Amino acid sequence: MAKAKKRNPVILITNDDGITAPGIKALIESVEGLGKIVVVAPDKPQSGMGHAITIGNPLRLYPVHIFKGIEAWQCSGTPVDCVKLAVDKILHHKPDLCLSGINHGANHSINVIYSGTMSAAVEAAIESIPSVGFSSLDYDQEADLGAPRKYARQIVENLLNNPLDKHLILNVNFPAVPASKMKGLRICRQAYAKYEEDFVERVDPNGRKYYWLTGKFVNFDKGKDTDVWALENNYVSVVPVQFDLTNYVLKAKIEKAWDI
Amino acid sequence: MAKAKKRNPVILITNDDGITAPGIKALIESVEGLGKIVVVAPDKPQSGMGHAITIGNPLRLYPVHIFKGIEAWQCSGTPVDCVKLAVDKILHHKPDLCLSGINHGANHSINVIYSGTMSAAVEAAIESIPSVGFSSLDYDQEADLGAPRKYARQIVENLLNNPLDKHLILNVNFPAVPASKMKGLRICRQAYAKYEEDFVERVDPNGRKYYWLTGKFVNFDKGKDTDVWALENNYVSVVPVQFDLTNYVLKAKIEKAWDI
């Protein structure tokens, strides 16, 4: 890791709200001066895209000049496509760090699975690029991201000095409270919380039904070591994430239960 | 679980190749007679959609009559949308089991993250519906799915008799070999294997570049307990999957490394 300290580290930045979202600008500003920043982000909002990749269609990639002095590209694909294309066609080598966000909306607990922001971070880590996804529980696009900016810089400085693991992924969420009320970082586990769906049914002018996805977020997990608890108590939640989805407990159970 | 045995269990079937794919027909045939089958599947191929959900657009849902004597619906959304809509608007309660597939193509190792087939299964398990995703390494849509059908039925019978866990998810992959060469089921962990991307660059008639995602699958994991090893040795791989993405090892490491 001494190598990363000597030269200027390369930081890839992406998001899922699209390249014009205030959150990505805040993230760029928060880490300016810490390395060479390259931005590759979707050309339109891609919330809820999870780990989708574009298989049946080609991708477009255009340079944009919207961040002063920063190389930036907009991509027609998903957040995961952005990371793949950035490494293969723009950077031509692995960056030192990949940052995703700052997302306008929560990505704590089960949201990590639906989130394009977090999936971009997961994709980077699969590629052996340590990564962090940042999200604010404040859905207001005009929200003050001053405090998230400060914490994001602190986390990135920590990781550039001590990268810990090439497959590192952190899911960082900021509570929707003023800076003065934020109590600092708290390392957490992912809560078991989920959405209870309630599709809204409507009828179009031709008499055909259609459905809008809506849902109520319900937390089934009372643990004080969870991200949901941390955020409810005004902490910045930090959940280390993995892409080995093997359920080892269930594996042992099945090996015992099934006679194979 | 005695309850599930007394009444006719409800089995929800979906996939990501779309409702007209041969694989879903094979899966329906494989479990006929084991319960009441309801099919809700995408109206078009949705490979590589991962855990994407449809947020900014409404969804359509139409009954189709293509499987004799089986209630079936085609949905305009992603595989995950199909599961959500099926539970909320068609079944109105949780089915006993959700099956996804049989996918035309591999979903072993890291593919589990990109796969719409597996994401539908994961979504069901989040909803406390035990689920299994089935995939064949044979990409040929006309492939003989006789052996996969037999194994799928065996697994489903096992789970209906002994459901093991309401959050159970199994990622089952079949090697692309004739039935006579398949060596039986093997419980595995997810291999660390991934795609090395190599986008193909082309130029459109207007002189603008576009990119096609291609990649070489590379296995970095030499473990004999992995799904990749099992499949290379003609076993049917069964990986138990989880949706708690917390990396507990990294969590402990960060708690030590960071002074917070």
pLDDT digits (tens, 9 = 90+) for A153-162: 999 999 999 9
Tens of pLDDT, residue by residue over B30-39, are 999 999 999 9
Note the pLDDT of residue A197. Answer: 84
Is residue A203 very low, low, confident or very high in pLDDT (cuts 50, 70, 90)? very high
Which of A80, A185, A211 faces B59 most closely, judged by CB atoms?
A211
Are the beta carbons of A254 and B240 separated by less than 8 Å? yes
CA–CA gap between residue B70 and residue B74 (Å, rounded)? 13
Both tokens of residue A208? 């055909």
| Cβ distance of A254 and B184 shorter than 8 Å | no
Chain B (4-43) residues lying within 8 Å, Cβ to Cβ, of chain A: none
Q: Any idea which residue has 């999936």 for tokens?
A: A119
Looking at beta carbons, which residues of chain B come within 8 Å of A110?
Answer: 126, 243
Q: What is the reported pLDDT for A7?
A: 83
Residue B238: list chain A partners with CB under 8 A: 254
Whole-angstrom Cα distance, residue A75 to residue A116?
14
| Residue A200 within any structural domain of the chain | no
CA distance A207 to chain B (A): 12
Reduced to 3 states, what is the DSSP secondary structure of residue B9?
coil
In a domain, B60, yes or no: yes
Domain contains A164: yes
DSSP A182-213: ---EEE-B---EEEEE-PEEEE-TTS-EEEE-
First to last CA, chain B: 46
H or E segment at B173?
A: strand B169-174
* A2 vs B220 pLDDT, higher one: B220
Using CA atoms of A219, A227, A106, A250 in order, give the dihedral in degrees to the nearest 10: -70
Half-sphere exposure of A137 (CA within 13 A, CB side): 21
Q: Residue B1: which residues within 8 A CB-CB, separation 6 or more?
A: B162, B163
Overall average pLDDT of the B25-29 stretch: 97
Share of chain B above pLDDT 90, in %: 93
User: Is B196 in CB contact (< 8 Å) with chain A?
Assistant: no
CA distance B110 to A180: 42
Total tally of structural domains belonging to chain A: 1
Q: Residue A142 and residue A232: Cα distance in Å, rounded? A: 22
Percent of chain A with pLDDT strictly greater than 70: 98
**pLDDT confidence of residue B259:** 78
Q: Which residues of chain B make contact with A245, given a CB cutoff of 8 A?
A: 112-113, 190, 239, 241-243, 245
Residue A212 is assigned to a structural domain of this protein: no
* B1 pLDDT more than 50: no
Distance CA(A113)–CA(A100), nearest Å, equals 15
Closest CA to B13 of B108, B143, B152, B126: B152
Given this model, what pLDDT does residue A141 score?
Answer: 84
Which DSSP letter does residue B64 get?
A: E
**DSSP string over A90-137:** IISS--SEEEEEEEES---TTHHHH-HHHHHHHHHHHTT--EEEEEES
Helix (H, G, I), strand (E, B) or coil at B68: coil
Q: Which residues of B are less than 8 Å from A47 in CB distance? A: 55-56
| Residue B199 counted as domain residue | no
In this complex, the residue of B52, B190, B257 whose CB is nearest that of residue A48 is B52
Helix A146-161 crosses helix A22-31 at what angle (to 10 degrees)? 50
The span from the CA of B197 to the CA of B217, in Å, is: 9
The strand pair at A193-197 and A215-219 is best described as antiparallel
Q: Over 70: is that where the pLDDT of B158 sits?
A: yes
A192 in the Ramachandran plot: left (φ > 0), alpha (ψ -120 to 50) or beta?
A: beta
Residues of chain A in contact with residue B219, where contact means CB-CB under 8 angstroms, are: none
Confidence check: pLDDT of B169 > 90: yes
Q: Is the pLDDT of residue A1 over 50?
A: no
Distance CA B17, CA B24 (A): 8
**Which structural domain range is residue B133 located in?**
2-190+222-257
Q: Give the mean pLDDT of B24-31.
A: 98
Closest Cα in chain B, distance from residue A222 (Å): 15
CATH code of the domain covering residue A40: 3.40.1210.10
Asked if A245's CB is within 8 angstroms of B189's CB, the reply is no
Q: B50 and A50 in contact by Cβ < 8 A?
A: yes
Contact A89 B113 (CB under 8 A): no
pLDDT in tens, A173-185: 999 999 999 999 9
The contacts of residue B231 (CB under 8 Å, 6+ apart) are B106, B108, B137, B173, B175, B237
Contact B245/A at CB under 8 A: yes
Decide if A2 touches B, using CB distance below 8 A: no
What is the three-class DSSP state of B24? helix
Confirm or reject contact between B143 and chain A (CB < 8 A). no
Task: Quickly list DSSP for B221-242.
Answer: ---TTBHHHHHHTTPEEEEEB-
**Measured between CB atoms, which of A126, A189, A251 is closest to B187?**
A251
Say if A207 falls within a structural domain.
Answer: no
Question: Which are the contacts of B233, defined by CB distance < 8 A and separation ≥ 6?
Answer: B183
Segments in chain B forming alpha helices (H): 2-6, 22-31, 79-85, 111-114, 116-126, 146-161, 227-232, 248-257
| A213 vs B84, B119, B245: nearest CB | B84
